[in-house]
Amino acid sequence: MEKLAPAKDRLVKSKQNWVDGELRGKILVLLCAVIMITATISITIFLGTKGLQSFIKNGVSLIEFITSTKWNPTNQANPEYGVLPFIFGSFAVTFLAAIIAAPLGIGGAIFMTEIAPSWGRKILQPVIELLVGIPSVVYGFIGLTVLVPFIREHVGGLGFSLLSGMIVLSIMILPTITTIATDAISSLPKSLREGSYALGATRWQTIRKVLIPAALPSLLTAIVLGMARAFGEALAVQMVIGNVRNLPTSILDASATLTTIITLNMGHTTYGSVENNTLWSMGLILLVMSFAFILLIRYLSSRRKL
Amino acid sequence: MKSKTADRIATGVFIAIAIIIISILVGLFSYILINGFKYISWDFLTTPSSNIRAGGGIRDQLFNSFYILLITMIIAIPLGIGGGIYMAEYAKPGKVTDIIRSCVEVLSSLPSIVIGMFGLLVFVNTTGWGYTILGGALALTVFNLPVIVRVSEDAILAVPRELKEASLALGITRWHTIKTVILPSAFPSILTGIILAAGRVFGEAAALLFTAGLSTPRLDYANWNPFSPQSPLNIFRPAETLAVHIWSVNTQGLIPDVEEVSNGSAAVLVISVLLFNLLARWIGSLITKKITATK
């Protein structure tokens, strides 16, 4: 009989349960949010302190680290820690990839939104989604087995080159640029297009003089996001770029980027050694660059007018 | 007449660009599938890999890939959906929300190799675990979390306002409304997003190189005790996944049949990702039909 408590008590109790559930739910989701903040902050702090060790503890000069082109950490007598060739390599492949992928991506976006909005989009949209889905090692592997021999035989050089890295990366960042550019152009108000057509402008004139300028900040955001992805890509580039420590003199020269040197050497250097610590400093450069890309994107989106 | 010609040329150029993009995809897929299908056989999928001799398969790598994916999802889905609920329902516009939003943005734009390095520092060295499945899964969680948060936030915000308001008007509390009204109707889009994210995790390699390692111990599939070092279910053992395997045989492998193994593995990887894509679409449309009763 003890099951049947008076109605008054039961109501109070269920009210109490409700309040408890409400509070528990709120705490639960708040916890998830806190975990995300913790993850971001701890990544910054851990990589920051570890990345600065080579300068603080091992006494590697920051100026030499960034400006010297001589990378020779295994030399016993006179080790040199200059990562300029790799920084240069990273920026070179990133910009070159963006130069190829930006026109293709924005062109594809214009094709989907302006030239053939119905059937073109139906075909190109899944194509882009599938391109996103191909894992980066598969891009690297195809680059290694198809692109590298092709360049060696038909263009020149060893095949392992900035050119191969640039082509592989440009295909990898193409979907990013296309997707965001498509969203940007299709979200422009219809009145812009109609106004331009009503003035007698052709489609090309409308695209060039009205749509592209109006969507420019978003299009630039698309390109910057693509470049951020290219800058941080490791394995695909590592497989095709050749990984040498010299500054490349031509596009057909083998080169190396920050990510490829980290990938290659992290496994077989002793944890805590000077060489290993310089790898962490390179990781810190990657982290700082990805913050820089975010700031750039913030700046661009604050300039968006429409 | 001149502008008309320019218009025609421009149209031609745009169509050419679209054709280039499509042919890149067709070329890539046909290359992977045609070259890879030759090597995929029951034998290839069920023999363990070899470090030196030819004729190794990908049994352990395939299992590891799915197992790491599973562990990652067990950790990342509750966290991600929780974060999404917070952003969509609880977060008030203000400084704190801005900070969380920036955190999501930072996490999603971090290069995967940087996340791998963080994993090496924290889950491998600081904890003293060495290369483990759990470390790999935690690194992949960091990599995957922002995607799931964004997907669930968008899905929850897309739920019609009336549903939520009707529930609140009936005197139901906010958390109960979220649990019983909002989440079920946002479920199809969340699920689709999660499956697509799973495809990305499945092919990820850079974050796993330094966290789950490049080797797999000899596994005994009859041993189901998750604490035994030979058991495939042990989450504290190193595990090389399929994507990492393709990379390692190509860059540091000694086996003579690199081409065969990596062609076959690449095909398996791409087919799996393709299946994830199709599954996402299919489940999405199925559940939408069931819930909304539209055809």
Instruction: Write down the pTM of the prediction.
Output: 0.88
- What does pLDDT average to over chain B? 87
Mean pLDDT of the region A279-302: 91
Chain B residues within an 8 Å CB radius of A36: 79, 83, 100, 103-104, 107, 145-146, 149
pLDDT tops 90 at residue B219: no
Tens digit of each residue's pLDDT (9 = 90 or more) over A94-117: 999 999 999 999 999 999 998 888
Q: Do A33 and B86 lie within an 8 Å CB cutoff?
A: yes
- The answer to whether A39 contacts B251, with C-beta atoms less than 8 Å apart, is no
> Residue B224 pLDDT > 50, yes or no?
yes
Chain B residues within 8 A of A293 when measuring between CB atoms: 109
Q: Cβ of B269 and A138 within 8 Å?
A: yes
Q: Per CATH, the architecture of B38-294 is what? A: Orthogonal Bundle (1.10)
Chain B residues with CB under 8 Å of A110 CB are: 14
Distance CA A177, CA A225 (A): 7
Show me where the domains of chain B are located: 38-294
Residues in chain B with CB shorter than 8 Å from the CB of A18 are 173, 176
> Which tokens sit at A44?
């910054």
> Å from B51 to nearest chain A CA?
17
CB atoms near residue B142 (< 10 Å): 27
Of the candidates B7, B174, B205, the beta carbon closest to that of A137 is on B205
Mean pLDDT across A284-295: 93
The residue in chain B having the minimum alpha-carbon distance to the alpha carbon of residue A167 is B24
Interior angle at CA B168, CA B146 and CA B88, nearest 5 = 15
Look at A26 and B13 and tell me if their CB atoms are within 8 Å: no
- Which pLDDT does position B1 carry in this prediction? 60
- Closest residue on chain A to B27 (Cα): A142
Q: Which CATH architecture has domain A86-305?
A: Orthogonal Bundle (1.10)
Chain A interface mutation, best of B13, B58, B86, highest count of A Cβ atoms under 10 Å: B86
Our CA-based measurement puts residue B17 at a distance from the nearest CA of chain A, in whole angstroms, of 6
Respond yes or no on whether ipTM tops 0.95: no
**Tens of pLDDT along B272-285?**
888 888 888 888 77
The whole-number pLDDT of residue A206 equals 92
Return d(Cα A56, Cα B64) in angstroms, integer: 40
Return the pLDDT at B214: 84
The tens digit of pLDDT for each residue in A234-256 reads: 899 999 998 888 888 888 888 88
Q: Is the dihedral of CA A130, A135, A138, A140 positive or negative?
A: positive
- CB of B253 within 8 Å of a chain A CB? The answer is no
Every domain of chain A and the residues it spans: 86-305
pLDDT at A13 over 70: no
Please determine, for residue A1, whether its predicted confidence score (pLDDT) is greater than 50: no
Nearest to B31 among A127, A142, A178 (CB): A142
Which carries the bigger pLDDT value, residue A77 or residue A26? A26
Q: Is B282 on the interface with A (CB under 8 A)?
A: no
Q: Are strands A71-72 and A80-81 parallel, antiparallel or unpaired?
A: antiparallel
SS3 A72: strand
Residue carrying the six token digits 């700082």: A288
Comparing alpha-carbon positions, the chain B residue that sits nearest to A132 is B200
Which tokens hold the place of A33?
Answer: 């949010």
Chain B residue with the nearest C-alpha to that of A231: B111
Confidence band of A65 (pLDDT split at 50, 70, 90): confident
CA distance A193 to A265: 53
Query: What residue in B sits closest to A29 (Cα-Cα)?
Result: B82
Q: Which of A148, A167, A143 is nearest to A158 (CA)?
A: A148
Question: For residue A270, with 0-12 CB atoms within 10 Å meaning exposed, 13-18 middle and 19 or more buried, which class applies?
Answer: exposed
Q: What is the mean pLDDT of chain A?
A: 88
Determine the residue among B69, B103, B152, B179 to mutate to test chain A binding: the one whose Cβ has the most chain A Cβ atoms within 10 Å. Answer: B103
Contact of B225 with chain A, judged by CB distance below 8 Å, is answered with no
pLDDT of residue A14: 67
What pLDDT, in 10s, does the model give residues B107-133? 888 999 999 999 999 998 888 888 899
Is A33–B87 a contact, with Cβ atoms under 8 angstroms apart?
A: yes
Q: Does the pLDDT at position B291 exceed 80?
A: no
Out of B29, B100, B210, closest to residue A36 by CB: B100
Q: What is the pLDDT of residue A125?
A: 86
Give the gap in angstroms from C-alpha A1 to the nearest C-alpha of chain B: 30
Distance to chain A for B222, nearest Cα, Å = 31
| Calpha distance A247→A167 (Å, rounded) | 19
pLDDT at residue B43 tops 90:
no
pLDDT: which is higher, A159 or B81: B81
